[in-house]
A and B are shown apart, each in its own frame.
Chain A
Amino acid sequence: MTIAESKSQDLTYQQLLDSDTHEVNPTLRMTSDVDFGTMNIPVERYTSQEFFDLEVEKIWKKAWQMVCREEHIPNVGDTYVYDIVGTSILVVRSAPNEIKAFYNACLHRGRQLRECSGHAGDVIRCPFHALAWHLDGSLENLTTAWDFPQVEPESFSLPEVHVASWEGWVFINMDPDCEDFNEYIGDLPMHFEKWAPHKKFVSAHVAKRYPVNWKVAQEAFMEAFHVIATHPQILAGTGDCNSQYDVFGNFSRAITPNATPSPHLQWEPTEQEIFDAITDKRLDEDAMATIPEGMSARAFAAQVARERLRSAVPDVDEYCDAEINDSMYFTLFPNFHPWGAFNRINYRFRPVGTKVDECLMECIYTEDFEGDERPAPAEYIELGLDQEWIELIPEIGNLARVFQQDSFNLPKVQKGLETFRADGLTLTKYQEVKIRHWHAMAEKFITR
């Protein structure tokens, strides 16, 4: 019996797939059988400098991590500055089909070579004393070379970090002896294979700083268990505890079905009420659409969404209701969260500098586009600690309101953790298995 089968007496996600009106993507039929037990999570992981320092040395400096999209650096000479836990990495489009990444520091006096992303030109030149390197990292100019008798120009190259890419995402790894990227991501490409041919562009890139440990923010977006209290407005249209959670190597996956009611409800919504919930219908409004007699909300919602996608996704009829309706959220350790199918969401969470209790949450929308020319990536917008997600409703729509609800909890979680006196955090065994997987992965990295 798999965890998915044993999780509860409720309708399982696999049973829900049986009623799909289209052929189900085989990856959705996959289930894992990984048991991470019921151990409590030490609260110090969210509050202590000691554990944070371990994360810096053993995780951030050792794990593959997403830095940007390839279209952020489309032209030779384009650069992207990625700062993580006090280390600055300079990602460079060094040739039309080549991306390199270097420690972002001049070998002379250590000045950051570039403080902002953007076009560097033919060389990477230090603004302090004009030493310069070619885009491949080899030395281009050693100002007053006669005064550096100790320097051998051919070996005075910028130290590199490993670079890899997958589906337009660029990753780096600072560990010179790191695991091969393809081995690290394992079967993740297989899960995205059916959706991969679609051309994507960055249609929104928004972020917000939180006064919380970075995992407090990240873990709020790794399960549907919180829907009952945090997002009550969608309970009639979200099968929160019908979600399926899986772990596959270094990544995990959750699938939360939509257009089906929460088993928490003590009443049975009609198919129309289910559809009304997911369209945020108010009591004094007409329904956005009336579900035909005999049709389920799930099938109808998929049909409506297919019509909205059709111009950008001509083969939309080849995708099952689950791919159209459901929330499929993957987590590649340590901090990258691409969503599956036609959902636009991709999250990244990371500390701000070396602060234990401040972090940045980014949401990068990637979506299909019409025609052959990829639109330029959307401008990056970052909200400060005192700004609210609802300021970004024009950019990311209703998701900003959902984030607003999630964000409402986060500072209160951090405050609670700093007051916490029990023997660790008592997580659910199944519904929070993605979080348990993260902590098991962290232990693996830390004890290496």
Chain B
Amino acid sequence: MIIRNGGTMRGIKHPITHEIYEVSDDATNVIVNGKAGSGVFTFGGEWVSGDLKSADEHLCGWLGSERGENRFRDAENRTRKLS
């Protein structure tokens, strides 16, 4: 099963597993697609649905918060807001 989300919205490719983590359209969950399947998870990494039953809880959490300032990106030049 592949859970589609209209592309790779706000997505990150996991650097170890190469799965794609992306925020759902309604910004309530994380959708993970990889070779082992697809799944929907909470921002705490808990499984919600899909044939992929586990995900990286830290990366789910990372996608669950709005980006803030860092030394390259400040409040004025954010390229996208999460919600």
With a cutoff of 8 Å between Cβ atoms, the chain A residues found around residue B69 in the complex are 397-398
Which residue, B10, B57, B68, B74, has most C-beta atoms of chain A within 10 A? B68
Given A236-B15, A283-B20, A288-B73, decide whether A396 and B61 contact each other with a Cβ distance below 8 A: no
Given the known A-B contacts A284-B8, A284-B11, are A393 and B73 also in contact in the complex, defined by CB atoms under 8 Å?
no
Question: What residues of chain A lie closer than 8 Å to B58, measured between beta carbons?
Answer: 229-232, 405, 408
B12 touches A390 (CB 8 A): no
State which of A282, A286, A390, A399 has its C-beta within 8 Å of the C-beta of B10: A282
Cβ A398 vs Cβ B13 within 8 A: no
Q: Is B9 an interface residue (CB 8 A)?
A: yes
Q: Mark B45-76, 1 if CB is under 8 A from A, else 0.
A: 00000000000111101100111111111100
Bound-state Cα–Cα, A261 to B55, Å: 23
Q: Are A280 and B15 in contact (CB under 8 A)?
A: no
| Shortest distance from the beta carbon of A8 to any chain B beta carbon, whole Å | 18
Tell whether A279 pairs with B72 under 8 Å between CB atoms, given A232-B56, A284-B7, A288-B79: yes
Does B14 belong to the interface (CB within 8 Å)? yes
The proximity string for A residues 388-426 relative to B, scoring 1 for CB distances below 8 Å and 0 otherwise, is 001001101111110011001000000000000000000
Chain A residues near B35: list those with CB within 8 A.
none
Cα-based distance from A235 to B10 in the complex (angstroms): 18
Q: Are B14 and A393 in contact (CB under 8 A)?
A: no
Whether B12 and A233, one on each chain, are in contact in the complex, defined by CB atoms closer than 8 angstroms, is yes
Size of chain A's interface in residues, with CB distance under 8 A? Answer: 38
Q: Which partner residue on chain B sits nearest A287 by CB separation?
A: B79
A229, A397, A405: the one within 8 Å of B61 (CB): A405
- Taking a contact as CB atoms under 8 Å apart, the answer to whether B73 and A279 are in contact is yes
Contact B68 A285 (CB under 8 A): no
- A236 to B13: give the CA distance in the assembly, Å: 11
The 8 A CB mask of A224-249 against B (1 = contact, 0 = none) is: 00001111110110000000000000
Evaluate whether A401 and B73 lie within 8 angstroms (CB atoms) in the complex, with A232-B14, A235-B15, A265-B15 already known.
no
CA distance A310 to B62 in the complex (A): 30
- A1 nearest CB across to chain B (Å): 31
Name the residue on A nearest B70 (C-beta).
A398
Q: What CA separation (Å) do A287 and B68 show in the bound complex?
A: 17
Q: How far is the CA of A288 from the CA of B74 in the complex (A)?
A: 12
A385 in the interface (beta carbon within 8 A): no
A408 near B57 (CB under 8 angstroms)? yes
Q: Does B16 belong to the interface (CB within 8 Å)?
A: yes
- The reply to whether A397 and B70 contact each other, CB–CB distance below 8 Å, is yes
Q: Which residues of B contact A282 (CB under 8 A)?
A: 8, 10-12, 80
| Min CB–CB distance A82 → chain B (angstroms) | 30
**B-side binding surface: helix, strand, loop or mixed?**
loop
Q: In the complex where A233-B62, A235-B15, A401-B62 touch, is A286 in contact with B79 (Cβ < 8 A)?
A: yes
Across the interface, do A404 and B80 meet the contact criterion of CB distance under 8 Å?
Answer: no
For B12, list chain A residues within 8 Å (CB).
Answer: 233, 282-283
Is A278 interfacial (CB 8 A cutoff)?
A: yes
Interface residues of A in 268-313 (CB under 8 A from B): 277-280, 282-286, 288, 301, 304-305, 308
Question: Which A residue's beta carbon lies closest to that of B73?
Answer: A279
- Beyond A279-B73, A284-B9, A288-B73, whether A232 also contacts B65 by CB under 8 A is no
* Cα separation A99 to B68 with both chains bound (whole Å): 37
- The yes or no answer to A129 lying at the interface (CB within 8 A) is no
Is there contact, CB below 8 Å, between A394 and B68?
yes
A262 / chain B contacts, CB cutoff of 8 Å: 15
Cβ of B79 and Cβ of A393 under 8 Å apart? no
Q: How far is the CA of A228 from the CA of B62 in the complex (A)?
A: 14
Bound together, the chains give a CA A288 to CA B16 distance in angstroms of 23
Decide if A264 is an interface residue (CB 8 Å cutoff).
Answer: yes
Q: Could you say which residues of chain B place their CB within 8 Å of the CB of A286?
A: 79
Contacts of B68 in A (CB 8 A): 393-394, 396-401
| Chain A residues positioned under 8 Å from B13 (CB to CB) | 283
In the bound complex, what is the Cα–Cα distance between A265 and B10 (angstroms)? 22
Complex contacts, A393 vs chain B, CB 8 Å? 65-66, 68
Alpha-carbon separation in the docked complex, A409 to B50 (Å)? 26
Residues of A within 8 A of B59 (CB): 232-233
User: Which residues of chain A come closer than 8 Å to B20, judged between CB atoms?
Assistant: 283
Q: Who on chain A is nearest to B64 by CB?
A: A390
Knowing A232-B56, A283-B8 are in contact, say whether A305-B62 is a contact too (CB < 8 A). no
Q: How far is the CB of B13 from chain A (nearest CB, A)?
A: 6
Q: List, sorted by A's number, 12 A–B pairs whose CB atoms are closer than 8 Å.
A: A231-B62, A232-B58, A233-B62, A235-B15, A236-B15, A265-B15, A282-B8, A284-B8, A286-B79, A308-B72, A401-B62, A405-B62
